[in-house]
Structure 1
Amino acid sequence: MTFTLRLAHLYPDHMNVYGDRGNVIALRQRCLRRGIDLEVIPVQPGDTIDWTAVDLAFFGGGQDSGQALITTDLIERQGPGLRSAIENDLVMLAICGGYQLLGHYFRTHTGERLPGLGVLDVYTIAGKRRMIGNIVIEVDLGHGPQRLVGFENHSGRTFHGARVRPFGKVLTGHGDNGQDGWGGAVYRNTFGCYLHGALLPKNPQLTDHLIGLALRRRYGQQAELLSLPAERELAAQRVMVQRLLRRF
């Protein structure tokens, strides 16, 4: 059976910093090597999207100015369909600015309150210092604890409400707010975090987890994700994790 998945890339011209576009490339390549056809749909301001036909979504990071340019379009044009899709288990990865805009609001350095989509029970307040550097978080993707590595660069401090669960525990780095030890939030099949780098090329196990979720959502439990080697990626990941954790 030939599988086809559709990925919506939200605002790629406005929300693409620190190599975030590499996440889409990683998803495409891991699909291609399995014979899965991944159609990438750029979502630009003013576009009309049938979210019921979308299996995966990616929302990258951006500067405050970039977020301000797309906030109205996100909420008013894409909001109803995207909210419904997320509640129907759309598989979504949101990084940094995209993560913030899925929450209730982002209060900037100037005190401006940018409204978010409100699908994640989080809110973000800009802090006085940037949280920059490599980060390692420990997550459970259903097969026991695993360590993911990334790079964070944000001044926004994101705080969780009761309707999300933490994505991972910070082993080194700052995480969502530099205080509670959590890195990212999960709601249904939506994952938000501050891990740039890009995240997915560095962490093929997460890439495969997202693809597997999307396949089962579209085609049912019989859609088994074929095993695919990732020796080089995982070796690089292990070296980076060991190097970072050795400091502490």
Structure 2
Amino acid sequence: MSDTGLRVVWVYPDLLSTYGDQGNALVVERRAQQRGLAVQRTDVRSDQQVPTSADIYLIGGGEDRPQRLAAERLLRDGGLSRAVDNGAIIFSVCAGYQILGREFVNDLGEPQRGLGLLDVVSTRGEAERCVGDVLADIDGELGLPELTGFENHQGITHVGPGARPLARVRLGKGNGTGDGTEGAWNDTVFGTYMHGPVLARNPQIADHLIKLALDVNALPSVNDQWYEALRKERISAALQPA
């Protein structure tokens, strides 16, 4: 964190901001401010360079063509990869998650190189789309409560040995591989298929990103009444019989 506060970057909102994913940036900003932290938030469009010295980077979902354009521009820019080398934290959703991997299938039906920041490879499923609410148990090493979110994707993502599944699904498809995995993570880079926006439904994940950025084990407590009410509502709705 710099002298001006926690530096948060929302990456390519003009290309990757589907299903309200920009709410993730708002939640991180708000959760930091509730702890008395100054926050310097920057929205970086696709015609701008990605700064390399921020603390937390957030990437959302997008349609197939914008995803390809975003991947091409992020590779040319190189700023996001340099930021990770500098110790930055990245949280990505859906198309953004695939872009952080080693390879995905683009809108032309061709394999496209990703940033290689997560050891995952994404292909396109031939079966029906993965759509609906998801409940999943987050990797115990992260010490976080169950994951709740909404998925809408055709992609199938395989997690390689250099990453770990973010969660194991109890309801929903997650990575779509049939092995029960959802998302992936390594030390500082996280990916998920969950919309919602996912950090509004799982504020403890936002807190975890902030703790990693500050290199602390705990944050001051805040009033989570509204967040917990939303979580209970969405979990209850997901568990209702169809």
TM-score relative to the length of structure 1: 0.88
2:55 is aligned to 55
Q: How far off is 1:140 after superposition?
A: 4.2
Secondary structure in 2 matching 1:149: strand
> Unpaired segments of 5 or more residues in structure 2?
none
User: What is the alpha-carbon distance in structure 1 between the residues aligned to residue 222 and residue 142 of structure 2?
Assistant: 16
1:231 is aligned to 225
User: What is the alpha-carbon distance in structure 2 between the residues aligned to residue 151 and residue 210 of structure 1?
Assistant: 20
What is the aligned residue count? 239
Q: How far off is 1:144 after superposition?
A: 4.2
Secondary structure in 2 matching 1:136: strand
2:157 is aligned to 158
List per-residue Cα deviations over 1:55-88 (Å, max 9, x = no partner): 00001000001112222210011x2x42233244
Contact 1:11 1:59 in 2 (8 A): yes
Secondary structure in 1 matching 2:135: strand
Secondary structure in 1 matching 2:183: strand
List per-residue Cα deviations over 1:151-196 (Å, max 9, x = no partner): 0000011111100001011010010114110110001111100000
Aligned pair in 2 of structure 1 residues 144, 41: CA closer, same or farther (>3 Å)?
A: closer
Contact 1:171 1:245 in 2 (8 A): no
Query: Which residue, out of 211, 234, 237, partners 1:240?
Result: 234
Q: Does 1:24 align with 2:20?
A: no
CA RMSD of aligned residues (A): 2.1
Aligned pair in 2 of structure 1 residues 244, 46: CA closer, same or farther (>3 Å)?
A: closer
1:147 is aligned to 146
> Unpaired segments of 5 or more residues in structure 1?
none
Aligned pair in 2 of structure 1 residues 22, 68: CA closer, same or farther (>3 Å)?
A: same
Q: Does 1:138 align with 2:137?
A: yes
Aligned pair in 2 of structure 1 residues 140, 235: CA closer, same or farther (>3 Å)?
A: farther
User: What is the alpha-carbon distance in structure 2 between the residues aligned to residue 74 and residue 178 of structure 1?
Assistant: 27
Range with greater deviation from structure 2 (135-144 or 36-45): 135-144
User: What is the alpha-carbon distance in structure 2 between the residues aligned to residue 30 and residue 117 of structure 1?
Assistant: 28
Secondary structure in 2 matching 1:146: coil
TM-score relative to the length of structure 2: 0.90
Secondary structure in 2 matching 1:62: coil
1:215 is aligned to 214
Aligned pair in 2 of structure 1 residues 10, 141: CA closer, same or farther (>3 Å)?
A: farther
Query: Following superposition, which runs of at least 4 residues in structure 1 exceed 6 angstroms of deviation?
Result: none
Q: Does 1:64 align with 2:58?
A: no
Q: Which amino acid aligns with 2:230?
A: A
Aligned pair in 2 of structure 1 residues 144, 36: CA closer, same or farther (>3 Å)?
A: closer
Q: Which amino acid aligns with 2:186?
A: Y
The residue correspondences of 1:1-248 to structure 2 (distance < 5 A) are 4-51=5-52, 53-77=53-77, 79=78, 81-108=79-106, 110-128=108-126, 129-140=128-139, 144=143, 146-216=145-215, 221=216, 225-245=219-239, 247=241
Q: How far off is 1:49 after superposition?
A: 3.6
Secondary structure in 2 matching 1:226: coil
Aligned pair in 2 of structure 1 residues 134, 85: CA closer, same or farther (>3 Å)?
A: same
User: What is the alpha-carbon distance in structure 2 between the residues aligned to residue 180 and residue 214 of structure 1?
Assistant: 31
Identity of aligned residues (%): 36
Contact 1:22 1:198 in 2 (8 A): yes
Range with greater deviation from structure 2 (191-200 or 100-109): 100-109
User: What is the alpha-carbon distance in structure 2 between the residues aligned to residue 230 and residue 16 of structure 1?
Assistant: 26
Q: How far off is 1:227 after superposition?
A: 1.1
